[in-house]
Structure 1
Amino acid sequence: MTTAPTSASGADTASAIVDTARPPVRCDLGRVGIWSGQFDFSPASVVRAAVAELDELGYRAVWTGEVKGREVLVTAALMLAATSRLTVATGIAQIFARHPQTMAAGQLTLAEAFGDRFLLGLGVSHASLMEIRGVAYTKPLTQLRAYLDEMDRAAREQYRAVPPASSTRVLAALGPKMLELARVRADGAHTYFVPPEHTASARKILGPGKLLVPEQAFVLDTNPESARELARRHTGSYLRLPNYTNNLRRFGFTDDDLVGAGSDRLVDTIVPWGDPDVLLGRISEHLDAGADHVCVQVLDADRRGLPRRQWRELAPALLSLG
């Protein structure tokens, strides 16, 4: 890892950071992976079986997040130990869930133990989730930059275990300043709840050679009423978070689109529904806009279940993309 100096003023702008070279990314993500926040609701034995099946089906990456459930680096270790080829990525590890030295040690431990099969996605998260941890959500850009400084210092000066040959990290980023921070202080960005237009804009900010990984939600259902009902259960929870609504406004969505669980226009943009060809079309839009990898979040009527049936059904189509 490398550390870039910050300006003396500490201004809340990523442009104050000197760009630093990082080694080429070596994680083998493929073009499409699976994203799920549902693993917490299954016993560890089921999680192991589910990711082993993803590995056997041929998926090359699985992403899992961190809210109020399992510690995400422990979950990553559980998944890595249950698979042989699958890359496991955190989307995301919340920075204030652990000290920077602990985050650095966790990343380096997993990267050394499992090679290039671990990718650390990290970020500030949201005000409501930070309050649970007793941390004020003040200036997220400044908070994340300072955290990265401490994390890199710990990796460089304090970590005494066997180091990995390489390690990869991406930052949760939506707005231009956070994307710029991802460009200069990480290997790229993980975006969430975004239209393909955001992917095109993010690629311009990141430039070439940086990972850009958008999440794409999807409902495998060709019935408009039932599909949108399930999609709205998803959009309604995120439209309560200002980070996402502010970002959507940048791309032409209005207050009318953001009311309640969202207009049909917003729902169909953020959560397309239909058969596998519909999903392939949306993924292609992200890839054409500059994404390197799209992680698909398949929604299921069972709030606590894993959509393993859909993962199986979608595998031939998704894996055809490489």
Structure 2
Amino acid sequence: MTDDDTNPTGDSAQLRASLGRYGVWSIALRSEDPDRRDELADAAAELEELGFGTLWLGGSSSVRNAVPIVGATSRVTVGTSIQSIWQHEAADAAREFTELDATHPGRFLLGLGVAHAQNTEQYRRPYSSLVAYLDALDAAGVPAHRRVLAAIGPRSLKLAADRAAGTIPYLVTPEYTAEARRTLGETALLAPEFKVVLETDPSVARGLARTSLAPYLQMPNYTNNFQRLGFTEDDFTAGGSDRLIDALYAWGGDDRVRDRLEEFHTAGADHVAVQVVSDASREDLPRDAWRRLAGLLLPAA
């Protein structure tokens, strides 16, 4: 047993350093199309060279999706955001984690969540099911500091602090981040996702954001959290009010986008996973946008 195994504070500091201040969140990076493997490998290698600390495989991703991305890079952290507990048995997740960690030690972070009732017929007693899943991972030897939870509500946040390295909340604001930090305490990881629309025209930017947001407004996990933040049912109509859109998306010129992202760090985030929203297909890799963001956010770039 190493010192880090008995020192949660040391684990936390090491994890923060490995993630960096900013990462990229992308559904396109988790494609299972074998014909795209070279394209994805090249994009992942460039993101690493640009200086992003973590590549988050968006949507319903898995350890298997991470294997080629980890293999195409040498130092960047790769995480799932998220792997659904309903779609992957805990024993399989533990075995795949152990195999990947054996070949690329310390490079992979297992992001887990209960997803949404609309997405699976198995959805029931989500909190208890997640606790049981974590118990199984413990028994299989998956370290708590190498997994994170897609936690949003207060009860789940406390679970993320107690049974994982921390949380990777999705569709949240700096105000939420400040409250989550108070709930988590100082040592747990807080790594929210935030969406960026690189458009300066308000109508165009908000239009793209509304198209992106519309499916999430059908999911109570998110709308309940928005209401805890002070939004009302009126904010959920017609694809989202301007007030809601402007809270959940960064858009505008470079300075405005940078300032919005930095608000999360001021509020207590350790890391921000940046998702580019555009009119391109979800399968497209927004490499020009990633390069632009690297210039804005990463001094070394």
TM-score, normalised on structure 1?
Answer: 0.85
Matching residue within 115, 118, 131 for 1:125: 115
Say if 1:188 and 1:210, in contact at 8 Å, map to a contact too: yes
Q: In 1, distance between residues paired with 2:154 and 2:97?
A: 26
Could you report, residue by residue, the CA deviation over 1:141-188 in whole angstroms, capped at 9, with x for unpaired residues? Answer: 1110011111211227xxxxxxx9x96111010000000110110110
Aligned-pair CA distance for 1:40: 4.5
Q: In 2, distance between residues paired with 1:293 and 1:215?
A: 9
Amino acid across the alignment from 1:75: N
Aligned-pair CA distance for 1:111: 2.3
Matching residue within 118, 121, 132 for 1:146: 132
Q: Aligned residues: percent identity?
A: 45
Amino acid across the alignment from 2:285: L
- Judging by fraction of residues, say which structure has more helix: 2
Consecutive unaligned residues in structure 2, runs of 5 or more: none
Matching residue within 267, 274, 277 for 1:299: 277
Amino acid across the alignment from 1:319: L
Consecutive unaligned residues in structure 1, runs of 5 or more: 2-19, 157-163
Aligned-pair CA distance for 1:302: 0.8
Q: 2:79 aligns to what SS in structure 1?
A: strand
Q: Which residue of 2 aligns with 1:55?
A: 48
Amino acid across the alignment from 2:44: V
List 4+ stretches of structure 1 deviating above 4 A: 20-23
Pairs aligned (count): 289
Q: Which residue of 2 aligns with 1:72?
A: 62
Q: 2:231 aligns to what SS in structure 1?
A: coil
Q: In 2, distance between residues paired with 1:178 and 1:40?
A: 26
Taking structure 1 as reference, are residues 21 and 238 closer, same or farther at Cα in structure 2, changes over 3 Å only? farther
Q: In 1, distance between residues paired with 2:278 and 2:94?
A: 34
Q: Which residue of 2 aligns with 1:15?
A: none
Q: Which residue of 1 aligns with 2:39?
A: 46
Amino acid across the alignment from 1:138: R
Aligned-pair CA distance for 1:38: 2.3
Q: 2:252 aligns to what SS in structure 1?
A: coil
Q: Which residue of 2 aligns with 1:205?
A: 183
Say if 2:11 and 2:145, in contact at 8 Å, map to a contact too: no
Q: In 1, distance between residues paired with 2:145 and 2:94?
A: 10
Say if 2:30 and 2:57, in contact at 8 Å, map to a contact too: no
Aligned-pair CA distance for 1:321: 9.1
Question: CA RMSD, aligned part only?
Answer: 2.1
Q: 2:172 aligns to what SS in structure 1?
A: coil
Once the two structures are overlaid, the 10-residue window that deviates more, 175-184 or 269-278, is 269-278
Q: Which residue of 2 aligns with 1:24?
A: 11
Q: In 2, distance between residues paired with 1:198 and 1:21?
A: 28
Could you report, residue by residue, the CA deviation over 1:2-61 in whole angstroms, capped at 9, with x for unpaired residues? Answer: xxxxxxxxxxxxxxxxxx974613330110111011234572221111111101212121
Q: In 2, distance between residues paired with 1:321 and 1:90?
A: 26
Q: Which residue of 2 aligns with 1:9?
A: none
Taking structure 1 as reference, are residues 147 and 174 closer, same or farther at Cα in structure 2, changes over 3 Å only? same
Once the two structures are overlaid, the 10-residue window that deviates more, 212-221 or 96-105, is 96-105
Could you report, residue by residue, the CA deviation over 1:230-280 in whole angstroms, capped at 9, with x for unpaired residues? Answer: 111111111111100000000010110011310011011101211222221
Q: In 2, distance between residues paired with 1:248 and 1:300?
A: 23
Q: In 1, distance between residues paired with 2:207 and 2:267?
A: 28
Could you report, residue by residue, the CA deviation over 1:112-147 in whole angstroms, capped at 9, with x for unpaired residues? Answer: 32122211110111112222xxx1x22211110011
Say if 2:30 and 2:58, in contact at 8 Å, map to a contact too: no
Q: Which residue of 2 aligns with 1:245?
A: 223
Say if 1:93 and 1:120, in contact at 8 Å, map to a contact too: yes
Matching residue within 81, 99, 102 for 2:89: 99
TM-score, normalised on structure 2?
Answer: 0.90
Q: In 2, distance between residues paired with 1:40 and 1:169?
A: 18
Is 1:312 the counterpart of 2:286 in the alignment?
Answer: no
